Amino acid sequence: MRIIPVVAACLLAALVLSGCLTVEEREVRITLTREHSGEATILFIDIESESDDSTDASRQDFADLIGSYLQGDQLEGDNPGARNVRKRLFEQDQKLAGEMSLSFDSLSTVRLFQFDRNSPFMMFLGTPSRNELLVETNGTFGGDLMPVIFWPNTTSEFFVKTKAHPGEGVRHSLLSLFHAWEKTGKLPATPGHQH
């Protein structure tokens, strides 16, 4: 399962789900309410199952998405220091989307860094080969050789939108499985498993 990481890597990239889950786009919004604490929301757009061949593992991937991430504590484990975590899945533009909101008391929880009060805020985005491309930000991107986003030290609202590199695997939508689960509250049966 490979959901593109949330605040910077899930939080931007927190999320990294492990396995066959992937996300087409990710939006991260961070608001500082005090010097190093605040609120963050990560939006995952077009969550799909991806496989290297024609095998459709979408039922198992959807079960993992619900069990480990939505109802489980995988996201909390991937984002140490996150408090008041709220998660939901929903349909957006005929695609499955997810949202994670959290509170934090340390910049490191949301993958921000500031050397001292006079320094800019920084977020390491990673290299283009790390599955994400920067689409939009309200900061200044250092470029491929310095994949860091910078914001002035007076910034209190941060925004980053990334897009996944086109994968070579076969993707399967999870939207119909989500609708069935939403209607019945039951996970789809997977080979060798009964839910």
**Per-residue pLDDT reduced to its tens digit, 10-26:** 343 343 343 488 899 99
Structure tokens belonging to residue 157: 């609202």
User: CB atoms < 10 A from the CB of 179, how many?
Assistant: 12
pTM over 0.85: no
Top-confidence residue, 87 or 133: 87
In this prediction, residue 55 carries a pLDDT of 77
What percentage of the chain reaches a pLDDT higher than 70? 84
Mean pLDDT, to the nearest integer, of 167-174? 83
| Secondary structure string (H, E, C) spanning 103-124 | EECCHHHHCCECCCCCCCEEEE
- Residue 165 has what DSSP assignment? P
In this prediction, residue 19 carries a pLDDT of 42
> How far is the C-alpha of 23 from the C-alpha of 38, rounded, in Å?
25
| Residues 143/137, Cβ–Cβ less than 8 Å | no
